[in-house]
Chain A
Amino acid sequence: MNARSPATPLDELDRRIINALQGGFPISDEPYREVADSLGTTESELLARLQRMLDAKVLTRFGPMFQIERLGGRFVLAALAVPEARFAEVTALVNALPEVAHNYRREHPLNMWFVLATETPDGIAQAIARIEAATGLPVFAFPKLREFFVDMRLKA
């Protein structure tokens, strides 16, 4: 997961699989077979490569991306200014919360940026209170006020 460690090299079929699977996965009886056919490979090869890329963390997930806000929940971006000497300890405390969906180290005095995802609106304040109690650090919350664009697809 480290930013600098290059993962297992991807071959051309891996890249085509990643690009094809970044959206529009079929909802049908044999969806992997359909995708495999369109890529000129076999269902078993596609499944094996998907498993391998998930194991190698080339893919962090494969499945439905839920918009939890349309299901009554909330996503909120939040940040901490973590003293360098405490970075590993605070990372473990923050990551231990299941509400922390992802977390990045960034170059800035606010050096830890994470997304909280909760099933109810109240869950956000509770998660923030738990992080503040566990770390002794103030959480800066940045709930979105307006969404102008979201499309996380990146060509491999």
Chain B
Amino acid sequence: MNAPDDLDRRLVIATQAGLPLVPRPYDLLAEQLGVSASEVKARLAAMLEGGRIRRIGAVPNHYAIGYTANGMSVWDVDDAHIQALGEAIGRLDFVTHCYERPRRLPDWPYNLFAMVHAGDRATVLARVGEIAALLGPACRGHDVLFSTEILKKTGLRIGNDG
């Protein structure tokens, strides 16, 4: 993709830790960046429209809101079928993200990753069973890696040397 223009980049750096918690947050950003509030709002809207911002919103700690079982399910899926099957898994309402990633043989035979969050491990495993049924014989093996601790969750941080 294209290199970001300067205002895009300065908006990332100004808001990557969070949007100001003040009644007029975009006015405050405008003041910090030396541009008008209407320019800040127009640029943020353009970044949303173009997908440079996925959304503006809150990131909850999964554990704190009751999703205490977080399973990264990983699957060894026949490469010939991964496009259609990945799309099907991605459409399941309990899968929050789904990617094809490279295998790292011999240590890691899995090429499809689907994250499943629930209130307990039994529910996660039942949902993993639904994924297994959907994949059928195209899947040669799978595993579920439960998280036991959040070690860091700050999100993106760029511009550390500037």
Collect the chain B residues with CB atoms within 8 Å of residue A60's CB.
Answer: 59-61, 153-155
Q: Is the CB of A27 within 8 A of B41?
A: yes
Residues of B20-45 at the interface with A, using a CB-CB cut-off of 8 Å, are 21-27, 37, 41, 44-45
Q: Is the CB of B152 within 8 A of A2?
A: no
Hey, what's the 0/1 contact readout for B63-104 against A, CB within 8 Å counting as 1? Answer: 111111010100000000011001101110001111111101
Q: Is the CB of A7 within 8 A of B63?
A: yes
Complex CA–CA separation, A93 to B58 (angstroms): 28
Collect the chain B residues with CB atoms within 8 Å of residue A150's CB.
Answer: 54, 96-98
Q: Is the CB of B68 within 8 A of A148?
A: no
Residues of A1-53 at the interface with B, using a CB-CB cut-off of 8 Å, are 1-3, 6-7, 10, 15, 17-18, 21-25, 27-33, 43, 47, 50-51
Instruction: Report how many residues on chain B are interfacial, defined by Cβ distance under 8 Å.
Output: 85
A154 at the interface (CB under 8 A from B): yes
Q: Is the CB of B45 within 8 A of A27?
A: yes
Residues of B128-162 at the interface with A, using a CB-CB cut-off of 8 Å, are 143, 145-160
Interface SS of A by simple majority: mixed
Q: Is the CB of A113 within 8 A of B72?
A: yes
Collect the chain A residues with CB atoms within 8 Å of residue B99's CB.
Answer: 144-148
Q: Is the CB of B61 within 8 A of A58?
A: yes
Q: Is the CB of B53 within 8 A of A58?
A: no
Collect the chain A residues with CB atoms within 8 Å of residue B37's CB.
Answer: 29
Provided the pairs A66-B16, A149-B98 are in contact, do residues A58 and B59 lie with their beta carbons within 8 angstroms? no
**Size category of the binding interface on chain A:** 35 or more
Hey, what's the 0/1 contact readout for B45-60 against A, CB within 8 Å counting as 1? Answer: 1011011111111111
Complex CA–CA separation, A97 to B146 (angstroms): 24
Complex CA–CA separation, A72 to B25 (angstroms): 26
Complex CA–CA separation, A76 to B83 (angstroms): 20
Collect the chain B residues with CB atoms within 8 Å of residue A17's CB.
Answer: 58
**Shortest 10 CB-CB distances between A and B: which pairs?**
A149-B90, A148-B90, A63-B19, A7-B64, A103-B151, A148-B86, A21-B58, A103-B152, A146-B100, A25-B56
- Interface residues of chain A, those whose CB is within 8 Å of chain B, are 1-3, 6-7, 10, 15, 17-18, 21-25, 27-33, 43, 47, 50-51, 54, 56-73, 77, 91, 94-95, 98-108, 110, 112-114, 117-119, 140, 142-154, 156
| A to B CB contacts below 8 Å, 26 in the list | A3-B63, A22-B60, A23-B57, A29-B24, A32-B25, A60-B154, A60-B155, A62-B59, A63-B19, A65-B53, A65-B54, A66-B53, A67-B51, A71-B1, A71-B3, A71-B9, A94-B151, A99-B157, A101-B154, A102-B152, A113-B72, A117-B156, A142-B104, A145-B102, A147-B99, A150-B54
